[in-house]
Amino acid sequence: MRTAPLGIFDSGVGGLTVVRAVQTLLPAEDIIYLGDTARLPYGSKSPETIRQFAHEDIRFLLDRGVKAVVVACNTVTAHALPSLQEQYRIPIIGVIEPGVVAVLSDPGTQRVGIIATRGTVGSHAYQHALAQRRTGLIIHATPAPLLVPLVEENWLDHPSTHAALHTYLDPMVDRGIDTLLLGCTHYPLLVPMLRNFLPPGIRIVDPALTCAELVKADLTREELLNPAESGGKLEIHLTDLSEQFEDLSRLFLARSPGRISRVVL
Ligand code: DGL
């Protein structure tokens, strides 16, 4: 099982930000990535539909013999992680726990702003997990659904994206947040713009790096870590394929994605 691939999935190509972090930390692992681009966005769908999609996504990966799965979608993690973990026996790692760990890694954190999809904010998964682990934390969570299509449009430095950031973030900034948690795997591409946009001193947290560390810890504990030192391959499967998704994949991965295939679930 050690040399079996790792499965990673998301509703679209946003989860490739997690792939990038995993590749950096675990360069020997082969990765099979599934992006359900045909049914994106998940963030505005009901919890029942998200769970149904999540089970279909994970079965695609299991059929390809993966040894563990990373749910690189906050919305799926928020609504479906426990049900996936109950049903399947392999390690399944989500992105919310890593986000929480990353926020709390700074003992000085007091006021946290969270932006995520409507589904993730509405689940209160981040808010509960943070409040449970640190009392007195002030949390402002705002759904920022328009940022997903803006990122998918590659409008990473565009006046419309700027206007959306004002609407979503000004109220949090006015309340004095010291940390901004990016609770959606699409948002890390906005980090350069956010750095210019936010007042200095606000820490931006992308759960991807901590997620990769938790994946490494889980694989090590389960004795599933690939013993090689490098050479991991990446296979990308999308349920809808267009030139735009290929361009975006390059952007999210920060390098050529290689061949991308279209699949039907
Ligand atoms: N990547 C998804 C997430 O992290 C957001 C995109 C969607 O709405 O499907 O929640």
Our answer to whether residue 184 is catalytic in this structure is yes
**What fold does the segment set 6-94+209-262 form as a domain?**
Rossmann fold (3.40.50)
pLDDT in tens, 133-175: 999 999 999 999 999 989 988 899 999 999 999 999 999 999 9
Q: Is 43 in the pocket of ligand 1 (CB under 6 A)?
A: yes
**What fold does the segment set 97-206 form as a domain?**
Rossmann fold (3.40.50)
Give CA–CA dist 122/134, Å, rounded: 21
pLDDT band at 49 (very low <50, low <70, confident <90, very high): very high
Give CA–CA dist 149/40, Å, rounded: 10
Nearest residue to 154 (alpha-carbon basis) of 125, 198, 122, 186:
186
The model's pTM is 0.95
Residues of the chain with CATH 3.40.50.1860: 6-94+209-262, 97-206
pLDDT in tens, 99-129: 999 999 999 999 999 999 999 999 999 999 9
- Distance from the alpha carbon of residue 161 to the mean position of ligand 1, in angstroms: 17
pLDDT in tens, 209-253: 999 999 999 999 999 999 999 999 999 999 999 888 888 898 888
101 burial type by CB count under 10 A (0-12 exposed, 13-18 middle, 19+ buried)? middle
- Distance from the alpha carbon of residue 50 to the mean position of ligand 1, in angstroms: 11
Nearest residue to 70 (alpha-carbon basis) of 111, 119, 21:
21
Q: Is 74 in the pocket of ligand 1 (CB under 6 A)?
A: yes
Half-sphere exposure of 110 (CA within 13 A, CB side): 3
Give CA–CA dist 260/240, Å, rounded: 10
Could you tell me where the DSSP H helices lie in the chain? 16-25, 47-62, 74-87, 96-104, 118-123, 125-133, 147-152, 159-174, 191-197, 208-221, 243-253
Name the active-site residue from 184, 198, 205, 208: 184
Give CA–CA dist 256/265, Å, rounded: 25
Q: Is 40 in the pocket of ligand 1 (CB under 6 A)?
A: yes
